[in-house]
Amino acid sequence: MSISAIDGLRARRPHLFQSPEFWRSRWEHVVRQAESVACGQAQEIGESASGRKIPAFFYGAFEPVSPTATISSAMASDRPGAFYAPSQRKTLSLALIGSIHGGETEGIACCLSLLRLLETGRDWRGQPRPALLDKMSRVRLSIVPCLNPDGRIAAGVDHLCGGELEDLFLVQQGLLADGTLFRGRKIKETQPIPPGMLQFMGGYYNAAGVNLQHDDFLGPEIAPENRAIQKMFRREIPDAFLTMHAHGARAAFLAPDGLLPPGYQRKQTGAVGFILGEMHRQGIPFLASEDITTPPWSFYFQVWLHFMTGATPLLFEFSHGLAMQPASLEQIMETGYCVFEAWLDYNLAFSPRPATPDLFGATTPAA
């Protein structure tokens, strides 16, 4: 069916394909940003399933580490420093991933605004934000605005602000062969999407039908986009990383991850509480932890990258600003700034990696 479903949506809701200058969320905007970097570094970290080059952006000095053991061996010996100890570096290394689902454009817009700030001293709204710039200058920062260019192009829309829930399902999951929306929990029951199942495949997937969030991470082959981020993370070994998603409800964090060691869950919980406190102070609506029903034991993208590097992950869900949960693009962008800056504040103040994987810290030997 190719793009006729998106053409129909464009005819019904043209405002979803229009946005102000500061909301730069199209794949072409990511490509242009990579071509204009002067203060940082832009590198192609790999390709998508359809062969599109994926750029990442790096700011701050790169401080390599030299593990003497695999992370598995280091943790088994209770000597995590054999893989990596924070004392080996002068500055924290943090990573930000803007979008792995193509219809979740909020993370891309936020990342590109941050890159504009880093490059010119002002973001795409013309704001200087000197305090945030100072904080970013104190870390090694790796930014991947969009890991899934195939899905981003398939999704079509600039945003979903003011759209309906049905628009979200169309843009993200697409249409089944019978023309009905692919929606609900059944979207997790088939992975990857086999040929012929969908007459229109939305932006949730890469061109091969893989949901990058739930790839076959330990199988013989993983999606090329995830192979790209794997190589980048093994080189950078970040201390923490933040992935930016979006959904139809109020903004939310999906944490802690039940498969992580208790010490890391404690760090996740502490960071989320810290950030939500700042969101509350700024009057940004969010879902409380007890209102979130996502299974915490899922072995997904964040957990995989954690066990590869020991980095502390956080997954943030923007609100799309659908008609049922309205928010303006300006409010959504400011939410992104609030979350990112508070995440920076927490990591700079308290260190993202736990001193021990135990829940309550290191035990004190008896005298």
Which two structure tokens, joined as six digits, stand for 331? Answer: 């409010």
More reliable by pLDDT, 344 or 297: 344
Whether residue 187 lies inside any domain: the answer is yes
Whether residue 69 lies inside any domain: the answer is no
Which two structure tokens, joined as six digits, stand for 21? Answer: 């200058």
Whether residue 119 lies inside any domain: the answer is yes
Question: Structural domain tally of the chain?
Answer: 1
The average confidence (pLDDT) of the chain is: 95
CA distance 33 to 107: 15
Whether residue 361 lies inside any domain: the answer is no
Report the pLDDT averaged over residues 75-86: 90
Locate all alpha helices (DSSP H) within the chain, ordered by sequence.
4-12, 27-35, 71-76, 106-120, 130-136, 149-155, 165-172, 224-236, 262-281, 301-309, 329-350
pLDDT of 94-136, one tens digit each?
Answer: 999 999 999 999 999 999 999 999 999 999 999 999 999 999 9
Q: For the purposes of burial, counting CB atoms within 10 Å of the CB of 287, is it exposed (0-12), middle (13-18) or buried (19 or more)?
A: middle
Structural domain containing residue 112: 4-62+91-350
pLDDT of 29-50, one tens digit each?
Answer: 999 999 999 999 999 999 999 9
| DSSP output for 122-150 | S-TTS---HHHHHHHTTEEEEEES-S-HH
Whether residue 364 lies inside any domain: the answer is no
Amino acid at 179: G
| Structural contact between residues 341 and 349, judged by C-beta atoms closer than 8 angstroms | no
Which two structure tokens, joined as six digits, stand for 145? Answer: 């605005």
> Model's pTM, two decimal places?
0.96
Whether residue 77 lies inside any domain: the answer is no
pLDDT of 200-217, one tens digit each?
Answer: 999 999 999 999 999 999
Q: Which residues touch 179 (CB under 8 Å, ≥6 apart)?
A: 199
The pLDDT score that the predictor gives to residue 1 is 37
In CATH, what number is assigned to the domain containing residue 245? 3.40.630.10
| Structural contact between residues 202 and 155, judged by C-beta atoms closer than 8 angstroms | yes
| DSSP output for 10-53 | HHH-GGGG---TT---SHHHHHHHHHS--SSEEEEEEE-TT--E
The crossing angle, in degrees rounded to 10, of helices 301-309 and 224-236 is 30
Whether residue 253 lies inside any domain: the answer is yes
Whether residue 359 lies inside any domain: the answer is no
The pLDDT score that the predictor gives to residue 100 is 97
